[in-house]
A and B are shown apart, each in its own frame.
Chain A
Amino acid sequence: MVPEVGHYALILALALSVALTVLPLVGAQIGNQLLMHTSRSLATGFFVFVAIAFACLVIAFIQDDFSVSYVAGHSNSLMPVYYKISAVWGGHEGSLLLWILMLSGWTLAIAHLSKSLPLSLRAQVLAVMGFVGVGFLLFILLTSNPFDRLLPLAPQEGADLNPLLQDFGLIVHPPVLYMGYVGFAVSFAFAIAALLSGRLDSAWTRWARPWTNTAWAFLTIGIALGSWWAYYELGWGGWWFWDPVENASFLPWLVGTALIHSLAVTEKRGLFKSWTLLLAIFTFALSLLGTFLVRSGVLTSVHAFANDPERGVFILMFLLVVVGGSLTLYAFRAPVVHKSVRFSLVSRETFLLANNILLITIMVTVLIGTLYPLIADALNWGKVSVGPPFFNVFFVPLMGFLCLLMAPGVSSSWKRTSWQQLRQLLTRPLVVSVAAGALFPAVYGDEYHWEVALAVFIGVWIVSAGVSDLLYRLRHSRHWRDGLRRLTLSYWGMQLAHAGIAVTTIGVCLNSAYSDLRDVRMAPGETVQTSHYEFVLEGVEQVRGPNYVAQEATIRVSHDGEYVRHMKPQKRRYLAGGNMMTEVALDPGLFRDLYIAMGEPLGDDAWAIRVHVKPFVRWIWLGAIFMALGGGLAVADKRYRKLAQRQAEAAEPSLTGEART
């Protein structure tokens, strides 16, 4: 019964989203207030019915309703209830439903949080969101219905969720990631509304910016969670593999980052308008492309969902309609700038332009590396794969260059910056960061690593230039506290996000330079010695969990002869699927992680064991948290609410008047 309710709720949601697409759009076109006003209640209805459908699927999982094919394939009565709930999005159909839930949630948020938006703009934005909803609801109903029944032969027991996915990381990673993906649908909807109405002024950017920043912050956290999950769950000790699925989430992040910078220029200086619109379209297009790549089976990946060409055809069609349609609209409607607002070669505009060019270049290289196997296959060049070295060759230097430009970018002013100002602001940071970079590898570690010197230099350069800029801004205040109060939240957000980049850069580079990775054969009583740590395998014994049995090794760790702790990695065998799983033992720390994973038994009580010492690995994710917090601070800035409201009041009569004529 419950699954049928869910199915009907989805059909009703589809009907509502069709209405949400059509009515407000027509209303905005002919200037009918009544039709435009329907958008808010339709958006609410859309959300309510998708939420009902989602709740029904959750109930089917909690009740172990194995007559539902999706439940039978992804759950098991032995699983703890929190994994049963997270198993809802453990497979293709359920995660798609989560995607739609997020979409309807964002739609609801626009409908109710943007009271200051002019009615016609809100109607158009919501209509675009509704249209995206129509596409995905059709997709789920036609090709991947999670409520399909396995009748008349319902199994007594489910096949179990892939043990890799029975984990806290999976509970939180997809929802946050989808919040980011889908959040860019909002920027996209704003862009389409701007193209439709021809209205693209600084008020528009002020409405679009907070939404974009929010989506970007979610995506940042989502990617970081994915990387963290891969780190402790896959048992290889890596945290980024340049896998197609990872790239699929990274591509929109790169363009999204370019977008939030380009939006800043559009808001402050009215420049890059068409470019900003294009970036908004691209960001969402890449989110959709990611969905296409992950679910259609055109690329293989460790994380990909089970493939189905039929689904691929559908998403490709949808991609064609959405991206093709919006780019056509863009080509005909995007503003062509005739009067050029000038800015000098050394100005914040130039640095932000460089930021955009670099980010787009990085995106293109990642995209080409990701798609190259597909290109080669299509042109009959054989079946190939592109390894991580390709990505690193481009990513590392381009990203390094981007980070170098970050400091002068922050220190420069709009329109024109004198060299003198830059020199005044950046001399001290330069001295500090060069010294720090040169000294750090000499003090830390046993060998001198040039790449570490470079990374520390870049990290300190960004942070110290930020501090220098902060002091510069406080110079006129009588008391520093007054000065601090005058700084906006978005300024703090920018500083924090840039510091996050510095922290991540340092983390990535120090981790790759100083990690001590050993894969060894160990029998009880044997010892592995790294430069400062000693690991002794004391024994291996069998333990039992709720739905698995495990071999658990006990390893005694000491640091320079001093006892640290016992670590207990496991090799689990899940009872339902018979799947083997490595459970890593971690000793996390701000400056180093100890990482032990069990391989396979080698006979004679010996085991293959992976012992890693990973300095600074936490910094990678810590930086991402800073970035996301920075994005959040920027959203909280008061000026978006106040100014947007004032602009809206001013804009409303003229806009509706214009539409009527």
Chain B
Amino acid sequence: MHPVRRQRLLLVLFIVVFSSVAIGLMAYALRANINLFYPPSQIVSGEAPVNTRIRAGGCVRPGSVERSKTTLETRFSLTDGVVDFPVVYSGILPDLFAEGEAAVVNGSLNKERVFVATEVLAKHDEEYMPPEVAEAMSQSGGDHDETCGGMAYGS
């Protein structure tokens, strides 16, 4: 074969092999590493898988946060206003985490269908005004409860 052609053939072969290996690996890695998002209703109804890394989110039900006396373990309930599911998390909660606020949790459901979170995210949406921000705007003072000011659902 002509040396230029051979070089070109090698190049094409290299690209084909390389890219198919890459695509295969990527598909595999994606399957192993994506976290599906489940709303509270699907977790309660049993649609969400057990012992698989998933994401869930909702509003932290006021009054449901319980902290351990000796460790960093925290238990709370997430709700969509209709149903609740329990979450247990061991670690430091984000600054914006509070009762009545939206939160997203990463982790998995254990056999008792308690959500064991490895990560808790809380987020305020800037455009959609939670009462405490509004309070500062008007400087009226007084104690307002926090509310679910924006959800980072599915993020």
Query: A residues bordering B, Cβ < 8 Å?
Result: 72-73, 76, 91, 155-160, 162, 235, 299-302, 305-308, 340, 342, 345, 357, 361, 364-365, 368-369, 372-373, 376-377, 382-387, 389-390, 393-394, 519-521, 576-582, 597, 599-600, 602-604, 608, 610
With A578-B135, A599-B93 as known contacts, state yes or no: A385 contacts B127, CB within 8 Å.
no
Q: Which residues of A contact B155 (CB under 8 A)?
A: 299-301, 385
Of the candidate stretches B23-31, B80-88, B108-116, the one touching chain A is B23-31
Is there an interface contact between B136 and A159, defined as CB atoms closer than 8 Å? yes
Chain B positions 17 through 44: 1 when the CB is less than 8 Å from some CB of chain A, otherwise 0: 0100010011001101111110000000
Is there an interface contact between A306 and B127, defined as CB atoms closer than 8 Å? yes
A299 to B154, CA, bound (A): 9
Is there an interface contact between B123 and A302, defined as CB atoms closer than 8 Å? yes
The distance from the CB of A114 to the nearest CB of chain B, in whole angstroms, is 37
With A157-B137, A357-B18, A519-B92 as known contacts, state yes or no: A345 contacts B123, CB within 8 Å.
no
A390 to B29, CA, bound (A): 6
Which residue of A is nearest B39, CB measured?
Answer: A383
A604 to B153, CA, bound (A): 34
Query: B residues bordering A, Cβ < 8 Å?
Result: 4, 7, 18, 22, 25-26, 29-30, 32-37, 53, 55, 67, 69-72, 91-93, 95-97, 106, 121, 123, 125-127, 132-133, 135-139, 152-155
26 A-B residue pairs with CB within 8 Å: A72-B137, A155-B137, A300-B153, A305-B126, A342-B4, A365-B26, A369-B30, A376-B34, A382-B36, A383-B55, A384-B35, A386-B33, A386-B35, A389-B32, A389-B33, A390-B33, A390-B34, A393-B25, A393-B33, A520-B72, A521-B70, A521-B72, A577-B132, A578-B132, A579-B96, A600-B93
A519 to B93, CA, bound (A): 11
Which residue of A is nearest B90, CB measured?
Answer: A519
Q: Which residues of A contact B125 (CB under 8 A)?
A: 306
Is there an interface contact between A387 and B18, defined as CB atoms closer than 8 Å? no
Is there an interface contact between B92 and A387, defined as CB atoms closer than 8 Å? no
Is there an interface contact between B136 and A160, defined as CB atoms closer than 8 Å? yes
Q: Which residues of B contact A301 (CB under 8 A)?
A: 155
A307 to B150, CA, bound (A): 12
Which residue of A is nearest B19, CB measured?
Answer: A361
Of the candidates A342, A578, A580, the one having the most CB atoms from chain B within 10 angstroms of its own CB is A578
Q: Which residues of B contact A159 (CB under 8 A)?
A: 133, 136-137
Which residue of B is nearest A301, CB measured?
Answer: B155
A307 to B69, CA, bound (A): 41
Which residue of B is nearest A164, CB measured?
Answer: B95
A177 to B125, CA, bound (A): 24
Q: Which residues of B contact A369 (CB under 8 A)?
A: 30
Q: Which residues of A contact B97 (CB under 8 A)?
A: 600
Q: Which residues of B contact A368 (CB under 8 A)?
A: 26, 30
A373 to B155, CA, bound (A): 8
Q: Which residues of B contact A579 (CB under 8 A)?
A: 95-96
Task: Report which of A157, A306, A393, A519 forms a contact with B139, defined as CB distance below 8 A.
Answer: A157
Is there an interface contact between B136 and A157, defined as CB atoms closer than 8 Å? yes
Q: Which residues of B contact A599 (CB under 8 A)?
A: 72, 92-93
Q: Which residues of A contact B4 (CB under 8 A)?
A: 340, 342
Which residue of B is nearest A607, CB measured?
Answer: B92
Which residue of B is nearest A162, CB measured?
Answer: B126
Which residue of B is nearest A398, CB measured?
Answer: B22
Q: Which residues of A contact B126 (CB under 8 A)?
A: 73, 91, 162, 305-306
With A160-B136, A519-B91, A582-B95 as known contacts, state yes or no: A300 contacts B33, CB within 8 Å.
no
A581 to B18, CA, bound (A): 47
A75 to B18, CA, bound (A): 52
Task: Report which of A72, A155, A300, A384 forms a contact with B152, defined as CB distance below 8 A.
Answer: A300
Is there an interface contact between B35 and A578, defined as CB atoms closer than 8 Å? no
Task: Report which of A307, A361, A382, A578 forms a contact with B136, defined as CB distance below 8 A.
Answer: A578
Of the candidates A73, A235, A305, A600, the one having the most CB atoms from chain B within 10 angstroms of its own CB is A600
Is there an interface contact between B67 and A361, defined as CB atoms closer than 8 Å? no
Is there an interface contact between B93 and A394, defined as CB atoms closer than 8 Å? no
The distance from the CB of B74 to the nearest CB of chain A, in whole angstroms, is 9
Q: Which residues of A contact B123 (CB under 8 A)?
A: 302
The distance from the CB of A572 to the nearest CB of chain B, in whole angstroms, is 9
Given contacts A156-B139, A376-B34, A608-B92, 20 further A-B contacts (CB under 8 A): A76-B136, A159-B133, A235-B95, A300-B152, A300-B154, A302-B123, A345-B7, A357-B18, A373-B154, A382-B37, A383-B55, A383-B154, A385-B155, A386-B35, A389-B32, A390-B29, A390-B34, A394-B25, A578-B136, A599-B72
The distance from the CB of A649 to the nearest CB of chain B, in whole angstroms, is 37
Is there an interface contact between B92 and A610, defined as CB atoms closer than 8 Å? yes
Q: Which residues of A contact B92 (CB under 8 A)?
A: 519, 597, 599-600, 608, 610
Q: Which residues of A contact B7 (CB under 8 A)?
A: 345
Of the candidates B4, B72, B96, B106, the one having the most CB atoms from chain A within 10 angstroms of its own CB is B72
With A394-B26, A580-B95 as known contacts, state yes or no: A384 contacts B133, CB within 8 Å.
no
The distance from the CB of A579 to the nearest CB of chain B, in whole angstroms, is 7
The distance from the CB of A308 to the nearest CB of chain B, in whole angstroms, is 8
With A155-B137, A519-B72 as known contacts, state yes or no: A384 contacts B34, CB within 8 Å.
yes
